Structure formats: structure tokens, C-alpha cells
Structure 1
Amino acid sequence: ELNKQARKTGLKTVRPRWQRRMMLTPCIVSTFHSLPSHMTYQSHVGNNEFETDYLLNEIDLLIVDEAGQVAPEVAAASF
């Protein structure tokens, strides 16, 4: 059952998953390049077509690894 839930990528599944994570560990350590791939969900747009969208306002505290090594235009998109 847990593996079945882990494969689901819709907003109704992904948002509660992140909320549980933030209750357990309210700090995320990530690079700016990997953050967008972790904070996405899929929404159905019709005829087996899905659109990727980004979760907003889900992380309580974000610590960025290698922040001084990234271009400003890459970093700004995470905020």
C-alpha cells in the first residue's frame, strides 16, 4: 500500500505527503538545481495528458547547499 501511494503524483497525494514531511522534519536541504524536481505534481488536462506544476509554500525552512555556486536567475526561481 505504501509503495502504491509513493507512485501517485497528483496534488491530492503530493501535498499531504509534503505536509507530513514538514511535521516530522520542518527543514529541507537541497540545491537549487534539484529543488524543482522534488516540488512538482501532475494535474490531468484530458485524454491521458498530464501537466506538471509546482508546489508553492510547502517548505517551512529551506537550507540551500552550494548557494554561492549558482547563477542568480536559477536561485531566484526557487523563491
Structure 2
Amino acid sequence: MGIDSIIVWLIVGAIAGWLAGLIVKGGGFGLLGNIVVGIIGAVVAGWLLPNLGVNLGGGILAAIIDSAIGAVIVLVVISLVRRT
């Protein structure tokens, strides 16, 4: 894995985390938090969506959408855990 792949992961993670923070009210964690939430969301979506039979295709836009879906799921779970 090269440095360019890591930079793409960080950018996709930041965008996905930011989008998820907008969708889930009060879910933003700042730049680094959004990157982490976006990358964790990408892992969650990478596991969950194929098991549900959802395939958005390839490319950077599909990666951002996948990661954002996973990040929304992660933020909803975090907000549920915080309430209890």
C-alpha cells in the first residue's frame, strides 16, 4: 500500500464522516474524529452492505457513499450508547 492509497483513505474518511455528521444530528467529532468515524464506517459498510446484497459499484463516489452509510450506522450506535 502506497502513500497515495493512505491519502485517499483519509480523504474518503473525512468526507464520509462529515456527511454522516450532517445526517446524524450532533454527530460531528471534528476533523480527526470525522476521519476515524468515516474509516470505521467504511469497514462497517464493507462488511454489512455485501451481506445485505447491496452493491453500489466501484469508484471514489461509491466509496464515499458506502463509507457515509457505514459512518451513519456507527454514529447512530454511538448516540444510542451515550443515552444509556
Q: TM-score, normalised by structure 1?
A: 0.26
Q: TM-score, normalised by structure 2?
A: 0.25
Larger-Rg structure:
1
More helix by share: 2
